[in-house]
Structure 1
Amino acid sequence: MAKRLGVFVFLLAPLLLKGLFVDSFIYEYTGTPWLGWARVLANDAVVYAALLALLYLSCWPGMRRPISALLRLSALALFTVYWIDYLVIANFDTHLALGDAIKYAGYSHKYLQQIYGLPDWALWAIALPVLAAIAALVSLPYRLPAERSRILPLFAIAGLPLISGFTDNDVYAHAWIYKNVFDYNLTIRSEASAYSPAFIRDFRHEEAQTCLAEPAQRKNIVILMVESLSAYQSRYFSGIRDWTPELDAIAANHLAFRNFYANGFITEDGEIALLTGLPPVYSPSSYSDGGSASFAGFYGVEQALPKRLKAHGYRSEFLTSADLEFGNTGTWAKSIGFDYIEGHDHPDYAHWDRYHFRAAPDEALYLRALDRIAKAANQPLLLFIKTVSTHHPYVDPETKQKSEEAAFRYADKQLGRFVRQLEDRHFFRNGLLLVVGDHHSMTPLKKEEAAHFGHYKASAKVPLLVVSGNGHADEDRQFQQTDVFNTLQGMVDGRQCRSDWQGVLWGEHAAPPRFIAHRRGDNRDKVSVFSEDGDYLIKLDGDDTRLGSDGVDPGLSRLLVGKINALRLARLNWLAKSAETSN
């Protein structure tokens, strides 16, 4: 009896944990107790029905051993996927998606080692008992009890799918969180829907652009992209948390953009937007390139900032303390024209502790940045810095405290020290430092965020501040990461251009874009579009890509959908040309 109870609790553990997490998440927004539990149970009942049915049939008297083993392996695979999905939801505020599983599979064991500090032998020490338990589950001859005791579990298994009739998944803005992993992946699969040859042939999209001359400037440029830096962590940028006093003090004395948005939800999205000026809206999903979709369609972008500035005599450098192999970051950075690329394997990091992605802490990275700036004193410099210390799961490299607040207070302290060191070296006499978040932290939205910014905008809200010798100003109009690229290349060219989708951050022709596109991390099949007049959701579905909002002017709808289709088709065209070249 005790064994059966133990097995029952083990099987229900991820369902109970997911229900607890989702109920807490939803209660923050709705104030309705048990709603999350009810929705999780309704959505996951069919998954558990399948799991229990596989186990039930595998124990049926007279079942041949190979078939029984296959049924149990299938149940184990289903159970494992369910566990992983729960862990992804709880840790990264998104579901386990097929594309992510393919993309990150090759690096997952390294990530686990880095998070928990596990050597190779420790992974084997964990894996061997797990494998032994799997072998026992598959091979041992479990059998159902007497005939009169078999009917009750059969009724329970048959009745579970009936509960799924109460899912009601369309009444809540964050309904994605309580969908089961399979329903979620079926929902977002429209992102991979291909465009038909006829649609591609007939597609037209025009976008007007206005360009105005202004005095060119050849300043040294440092773009500091801070991992997971979000508006809610800063009192100055949101009033919600007070974890970044150094950042806030700097913002209070320089140019602070308090209504600024990331164009995507992962680090690669931020890099693409900041350095190429292109919204990170990908072509219909493709899991080629060795199983990785990182930067797919964005390699070798001719308009990239390093290439544009090289024509004006700039040297460009890409600096991070992370592993450049992750996501093919090093290869991508080289393809867009960086002259010098440095990652975790630089000798100066040899005596530092390592954390996520084999990275030394931010303090070590800033020392490397100061060294590179000093060595480029005789040539205009574009330096892109990517930090890691605030990557999830959060840990303070100094105190080893594992909390989001501790990690960001550490990063904030190191950032303040870095800015003071730049000031001491008179960098700002002819230099700009842009501090920007790569994306919203991969944590559930805070209730205050949703109330302050709205459900959709909150997930894209990040700070931007520009440190220079030009004094303080607050900018409250809407801007985005791609405007960083647009403004910097225009500043050096002496010609600032803007359009409905491109803004100019500062200068005599400063103006916000009319629209901002944001690639969503919760609903992968949707792109958010923000404007001063309203927020819109565009459903990605090949030829049938469409606006998800009712009552929108048809002309505006065509404009928004046309832009998203144009972005995706441009990346698709690049991939096709790249394939032709490689062949």
Structure 2
Amino acid sequence: MLRRKIAFLLAVFAATAGVMALQKPLFMAWYAGEAAAAGAGAAEWFEVLWHGLSLDLTVAGYVTAVPLLVMLLSLWVRLPERLWRALLTGYFALVALLTAVVFAVDLALYEHWGFRIDATVFIYLADPKEAMASVDWWLGVRQTLIAALCTAGILWLYRRTLRLFDGEPLGVRSAVPATLLFAMLAAFDFLAIRGGMGASVANISKVCFSPEAFLNHAATNPLFSLLSSLGDNEDYAAAYPFYDDRTLDANFAALRGDDPAQRPDTLLLTTRRPNIVVVILESFARTVMDEQIGGEPVMPSMQRLKGEGIWFENFFANSFRTDRGEVAVLSGYPAQTRTSIMKLPAKSRTLPSIARSLAAEGYATSFAYGGDLNFTNQAQYMYATGWQELIWQRDLRFAGADPSDWGWDDALMCDWFAQRVIDLDGAGQPFLAGLLTLSSHKPFDVPYAKFENEVLNAMAFSDECVGRMIERLKASPAWENLLVILVADHGYPYPKTLPYNVPLRHRIPMIWTGGAVRAPGVVETYGSQIDLAATLLGQLGIAHGDYAFSKDLFASEPPRKFAYYTFNDGFGVVDASGEAIWDATSDRIVSETAPGLLDVGRTMLQSTYRDLAER
């Protein structure tokens, strides 16, 4: 009997570790293109399995803990064996379901996020209806089937292990030494959970082995990645302790952009008080904007507007998500790695914002979106930071049209928004009007058929809608005193093999156009979304002393102009001299081609989190 009890526990542990290990070749096969781009041959596939085994064993240790406790109880407590089996079957069903669902969701998300699933997903599941709106029907069906098949397979395996279960209690003479033996097994199980006997406990760094981020991601156990990130970064000030306070203050003093004495060296506008339109373009990546299919540009409108207005050649997003990109654009506040300040109302409401600054100068401020502004807490953030009027899906009706799952498409919204700008101009009060587009967001459901690739087709549709909107504004009296700023909320993983942490992944377009622009031109200075606030306010002669992280790209101070961005757990910095990329998960410098940029990134990241803690 004792031999069967031990064999059962070992079988549970081995079965769990096997299931976790099997996910790795399945993941790499699913992302075969990325694996090939990372140079994954037979040796790399083996290394992914080998290095990933440490976290697989940790998860197996956690899963085995409950059966181990049951076996200990069964040594002393007599219960019907069918009851023990029923309890264990229910437990294994929960483990199988959780493992399968996490695997299926992670498999779908990685394509868009570029990292394995973690607690970030719960930010976007706070509103399940809106989260599901970005999932097309086939994707939902496909991942559900994958989860169901995996659940069935894992549960079948666990039920096989249950054949070894023996719930008969032992006599006292046998139970005492058996208890000591199981205590020893529990100690080994604890070591598996801890990640060994070394000083470092189980963490994702343990599986990192390659300079190719994809291979490290492939080795990561998704269930561990999700569960281990719960509650991350609650002590924000201690999240990235690169420098002591005095050194950090000195480093940041050379980078901050809130010097009241700053003045732009170049004036781009014909007036200090234009009416202003900010159009945040969903997922408009430079890689997509510059793409051509059969010699035809995917985004001809953006290419045309690039030559007609002021084009920012070296401009970058601060993050990979809309909520973080919006805060960077509208508040000049850097994106965080594993949290989103937009989801922290007590903190986000203290942020500066373009809307608040312009409202203080007599501007009427309004923001429009064809979807639901409650998603990711956008409405709360916008109202709290000075947007006086929000107009979104629930407020709009279009004759003969129905919204998609994500909201009203860009054709309807851009046409409506053009008329709104014209009407605001007629009202006589200076205004700031914002628009967030949405048709270039997954599921890419658009009434358009130009390219076979659904991503490029949706991007082309949005580009055409924005182009028509600009042409309509040009033909109206509103154009003469209008500044239109077109800027993406974040980049997009196009092509699919584009690594998530390199500068090109975060490169985005920004164009200033309108009748208030003095002349077209090209700006070569490096900058990112956080620099828009100070740059715009500088052109308007409005103080931007409360935007510590935002630099006026046309001011001589601070002298070093750079673009800074974050990804899941790390940062990148790029300027005219080179780049620096640092990954916090593996505590590794991914790239450093210019001196000093690594310190710039570390200073920005630590300063952001210290500021977040103090808000």
Pairwise same-fold verdict (TM > 0.5): yes
Q: Contact 1:243–1:405 at 8 Å: present in 2 too?
A: yes
Partner of 2:382: 333
Partner of 1:262: 317
Instruction: Tell me, in whole angstroms, the C-alpha distance in 2 between the residues paired with 1:350 and 1:564.
Output: 48
- Indicate which of 565, 574, 583 corresponds to 1:530: 574
The answer to whether the aligner puts 1:423 opposite 2:474 as a matched pair is: yes
The answer to whether the aligner puts 1:385 opposite 2:413 as a matched pair is: no
Instruction: Tell me, in whole angstroms, the C-alpha distance in 1 between the residues paired with 2:296 and 2:231.
Output: 36
Which amino acid in structure 2 is aligned with residue 180 of structure 1? N
Matches for 1:286-305 after TM superposition, within 5 Å: 293=343, 297-301=347-351, 303-305=352-354
Instruction: Tell me, in whole angstroms, the C-alpha distance in 2 between the residues paired with 1:36 and 1:351.
Output: 55
Which amino acid in structure 2 is aligned with residue 280 of structure 1? A
- Indicate which of 354, 361, 365 corresponds to 2:413: 365
Q: SS in structure 2 opposite 1:462?
A: coil
- Indicate which of 75, 82, 104 corresponds to 2:124: 104
The answer to whether the aligner puts 1:245 opposite 2:285 as a matched pair is: no
Partner of 2:512: 466
Corresponding residue pairs, total: 522
Instruction: Tell me, in whole angstroms, the C-alpha distance in 2 between the residues paired with 1:410 and 1:293.
Output: 31
Q: Contact 1:21–1:90 at 8 Å: present in 2 too?
A: no
Q: Contact 1:297–1:571 at 8 Å: present in 2 too?
A: yes
Q: In structure 2, do the counterparts of structure 1 residues 196 and 370 end up closer, same or farther at CA, with 3 Å as the change threshold?
A: closer
Cα shift at 1:304: 1.1
Q: Contact 1:319–1:341 at 8 Å: present in 2 too?
A: yes
Partner of 1:41: 49
Write out per-residue CA displacement over residues 143-196 of structure 1, whole angstroms, 9 at most, x where no aligned residue. Answer: 76799xxxxxxxxxxxxx99x999662332444431222554559987556546
Instruction: Tell me, in whole angstroms, the C-alpha distance in 1 between the residues paired with 2:116 and 2:593.
Output: 30
Cα shift at 1:211: 1.0
Cα shift at 1:539: 5.9
Partner of 2:3: none
Instruction: Tell me, in whole angstroms, the C-alpha distance in 1 between the residues paired with 2:551 and 2:385.
Output: 22
Cα shift at 1:388: 0.6
Q: In structure 2, do the counterparts of structure 1 residues 110 and 304 end up closer, same or farther at CA, with 3 Å as the change threshold?
A: closer
Which amino acid in structure 2 is aligned with residue 20 of structure 1? A
Partner of 2:603: 562
Q: SS in structure 1 opposite 2:319?
A: coil
Instruction: Tell me, in whole angstroms, the C-alpha distance in 2 between the residues paired with 1:256 and 1:510.
Output: 22
Which amino acid in structure 1 is aligned with residue 506 of structure 2? A
Q: In structure 2, do the counterparts of structure 1 residues 241 and 446 end up closer, same or farther at CA, with 3 Å as the change threshold?
A: farther
Instruction: Tell me, in whole angstroms, the C-alpha distance in 1 between the residues paired with 2:100 and 2:86.
Output: 21
Which amino acid in structure 2 is aligned with residue 397 of structure 1? P
Write out per-residue CA displacement over residues 332-389 of structure 1, whole angstroms, 9 at most, x where no aligned residue. Answer: 11000111101111232474332343x1100111122123212212111111110010
Instruction: Tell me, in whole angstroms, the C-alpha distance in 1 between the residues paired with 2:405 and 2:467.
Output: 22
Gaps spanning 5+ residues in structure 2: where?
Answer: 1-17, 72-80, 166-194, 197-203
Q: Contact 2:580–2:598 at 8 Å: present in 1 too?
A: no
Partner of 1:20: 29
The answer to whether the aligner puts 1:573 opposite 2:614 as a matched pair is: yes
Q: SS in structure 2 opposite 1:345?
A: helix
Q: SS in structure 1 opposite 2:343?
A: coil
Partner of 1:212: 263
Q: In structure 2, do the counterparts of structure 1 residues 551 and 326 end up closer, same or farther at CA, with 3 Å as the change threshold?
A: closer
Farther off after superposition, 69-78 or 395-404: 395-404
Partner of 2:98: 77
Cα shift at 1:399: 4.6
Cα shift at 1:464: 0.9
Which amino acid in structure 1 is aligned with residue 469 of structure 2? F
Q: Contact 2:317–2:491 at 8 Å: present in 1 too?
A: yes
Q: Contact 1:229–1:437 at 8 Å: present in 2 too?
A: yes
Write out per-residue CA displacement over residues 198-255 of structure 1, whole angstroms, 9 at most, x where no aligned residue. Answer: 9998774552535127796100111111100000112389999931012111212222
Q: Contact 2:366–2:434 at 8 Å: present in 1 too?
A: yes
Instruction: Tell me, in whole angstroms, the C-alpha distance in 2 between the residues paired with 1:558 and 1:17.
Output: 38
Partner of 1:278: 333
Q: Contact 1:191–1:525 at 8 Å: present in 2 too?
A: no
The two structures have a TM-score, normalised by structure 2, of 0.71
Q: SS in structure 2 opposite 1:249?
A: helix
Cα shift at 1:529: 2.1
Q: Contact 1:500–1:513 at 8 Å: present in 2 too?
A: no
Farther off after superposition, 69-78 or 179-188: 179-188
Q: In structure 2, do the counterparts of structure 1 residues 322 and 105 end up closer, same or farther at CA, with 3 Å as the change threshold?
A: same
Partner of 1:518: 565
Cα shift at 1:406: 1.0
Q: Contact 1:187–1:525 at 8 Å: present in 2 too?
A: no
Cα shift at 1:512: 8.0
Which amino acid in structure 2 is aligned with residue 41 of structure 1? L
Q: In structure 2, do the counterparts of structure 1 residues 241 and 272 end up closer, same or farther at CA, with 3 Å as the change threshold?
A: farther
Q: SS in structure 1 opposite 2:333?
A: coil
Q: In structure 2, do the counterparts of structure 1 residues 424 and 101 end up closer, same or farther at CA, with 3 Å as the change threshold?
A: same
Q: Contact 1:114–1:355 at 8 Å: present in 2 too?
A: no
Gaps spanning 5+ residues in structure 1: where?
Answer: 1-8, 148-160, 575-583
Q: Contact 1:396–1:403 at 8 Å: present in 2 too?
A: no
Q: CA RMSD in A?
A: 4.8
Instruction: Tell me, in whole angstroms, the C-alpha distance in 1 between the residues paired with 2:164 and 2:597.
Output: 67
Partner of 1:479: 527
Instruction: Tell me, in whole angstroms, the C-alpha distance in 1 between the residues paired with 2:293 and 2:315.
Output: 11
Instruction: Tell me, in whole angstroms, the C-alpha distance in 2 between the residues paired with 1:309 and 1:432.
Output: 14
The answer to whether the aligner puts 1:411 opposite 2:462 as a matched pair is: yes
Q: Contact 2:535–2:553 at 8 Å: present in 1 too?
A: yes
Q: Contact 1:229–1:438 at 8 Å: present in 2 too?
A: yes
User: Identity over the aligned pairs, expressed in percent?
Assistant: 18
